Amino acid sequence: MNHVSNRSSNSPNVDERHLMFDDLEKLGRILVETGDIAHSFVQGVDDMDVTCRDFSAFDPSRPLQGQGRGTLDALRAAKEEILPLLAASIGPRYLGFVTGGTTPAALAGDWLASAIDQNATGPEGSVNAAVEEQVINWLCDLGGVPSDRYDGVLTTGATVSNLLGLVAARQWCGEQVGVNVDADGSGVLPDLEVFAASPHASMIKDLSITGIGRNNFTKVATKPGSEETDIADLKAKISASDARAKIVIASAGTVNATDFDDLEAIADLCAAYGAWLHVDAAFGFFAALDDRRADFTKGIARADSITSDGHKWLNVPYDCGIFLTRHIAVLETCCRAFAPYLDTKADGNSYINRGVENSRRFRALPLWMTMVAYGRDGVASVIRANCDQAADLAAWVRTHERLELFSEPKLNVTMFAARGSDEDNRALLARINATGKVFMTPTVYGGRFGFRAAFSNWRTCDDDLVIIKQAIETAL
């Protein structure tokens, strides 16, 4: 309470703030208790139900109290009211979406990022921008693209990275024909054509956000029984196009079948027809770290822009996306934020001018920590293990008399269903998830309803596969 009495004479808000000053004095204890709670949660996820299916005990409409309770009391409340109702999504059997966990080093980095709370806008007075630059160089190295040709920015996720891809692509296309979309608006480039075979849902959303229009793209055919771009169809469509501005969206790891486009062939077509090549490699970017899959992303270093994610397969906490481009100046044209109060003469990258946000979390730190702690080999070993786990589940499904594999997993996702109707399978998925032992999300592939098991967590082990198979067997 010293702070309160010392400052009471010149601070009108002192009564309201006394709890915060009190807490500052107790910070050591607060952090230890927070650490204990976090530690039991992280260690306990193996034994928790993988998802919480009834959170009716939590009342979102409860009014805010006038008087606070201090952090130790708030921590106790969080432990009782919130923690038991969470999903064990950092755990080894959460196979929904493409959900990474958190490595211990990334967790430590994330906590530090909160404690030091830099506003990671740029190089003014802090090394944070240089750390982000180093991390982006290391990410280029992991994905096999030359860091002297690519630069980038950390984003909130692949959705925003895809958005930056579209924005930079449209600006570049305009510059090729002498118009400036950044200055004069998208109306100066009416004949923009976007080509895509299997765009992720986030890309469709970004087509809307950019004003291009979610339906306004040329659908390229996929190879039969696959989500991979049919190169002959892309060639036919792009060569027949009269548009002065062309963007091709390619995939390095589609979300269902984990298909990879032939990026060399697509890059050749883009070069021939003056198109910008954007590659969505939200999780597939890291495939080449598995030497058995080294060819999957061949040609990616010819992309004009690349999307990836840290919070998926790199197992750093939310939120962390990655955007890389060979045309950083174009991105900076579109994203620059100028005001006299933002002006800086400091040497280094101004990340405020490279993305959607002005104020930004120090996302580079958890990435930096995990890469320093485990190195390239540590990251690669997670990729390999998860691919093996997807293959193991697929092998079990293939020989199971009541199950059917939708396609051979190329990477870390296994898609399957039980023999029977879509309706039966919907009910079965609900029963499997209700076991609390595993969580999978639904999908539709080849017109059929099925289950997606996406292995993206560093903690998943052989024992988990045994539990997962047992849960499916029990629910069948």
Ligand X SMILES: Cc1ncc(COP(=O)(O)O)c(C=O)c1O
Dmax over CA atoms of the chain, in Å, equals 79
C-beta of 194 vs 428, nearer to ligand X = 194
C-beta of 189 vs 212, nearer to ligand X = 212
Smallest distance from ligand X to CB 43, Å: 27
Smallest distance from ligand X to CB 305, Å: 13
C-beta of 173 vs 282, nearer to ligand X = 282
Cα–Cα dist 407/394, whole Å: 9
Q: Which residues contact 237 (CB under 8 A, 6 or more apart)?
A: 195, 218, 220
Region of residue 442 (phi > 0: left; psi between -120 and 50: alpha; otherwise: beta): beta
Smallest distance from ligand X to CB 197, Å: 13
Smallest distance from ligand X to CB 223, Å: 18
Smallest distance from ligand X to CB 192, Å: 21
Smallest distance from ligand X to CB 322, Å: 10
What CA–CA distances, in Å, run from 185 to 177, 190, 310, 451?
14, 10, 32, 43
C-beta of 122 vs 284, nearer to ligand X = 284
C-beta of 143 vs 174, nearer to ligand X = 143
Task: Annotate 416-440 with b (16+ C-beta within 10 A) or e (fewer).
Answer: bbbeeeeeebeebbeebbebebbbb
| DSSP helix/strand/coil, 197 | coil
C-beta of 95 vs 243, nearer to ligand X = 95
Cα–Cα dist 100/442, whole Å: 18
**Phi, psi torsion values for 154, nearest 5 degrees:** -90, 135
- Closest-CA residue to 391 (of 312, 319, 460, 442): 460
Cα–Cα dist 257/452, whole Å: 9
C-beta of 102 vs 159, nearer to ligand X = 159
What CA–CA distances, in Å, run from 316 to 20, 27, 44, 363, 368?
30, 25, 19, 9, 10
Smallest distance from ligand X to CB 443, Å: 12
Q: Which residues contact 439 (CB under 8 A, 6 or more apart)?
A: 50, 51, 87, 89, 93, 94, 95, 96, 433
Residue with the CB atom nearest ligand X in the bound state: 157
- Closest-CA residue to 287 (of 452, 146, 201, 412): 412
C-beta of 126 vs 441, nearer to ligand X = 441
Please report, as ranges, the residues that interact with ligand X according to CB under 6 A.
97-98, 157-159, 200, 202, 255, 280, 282, 309, 321
Smallest distance from ligand X to CB 252, Å: 8
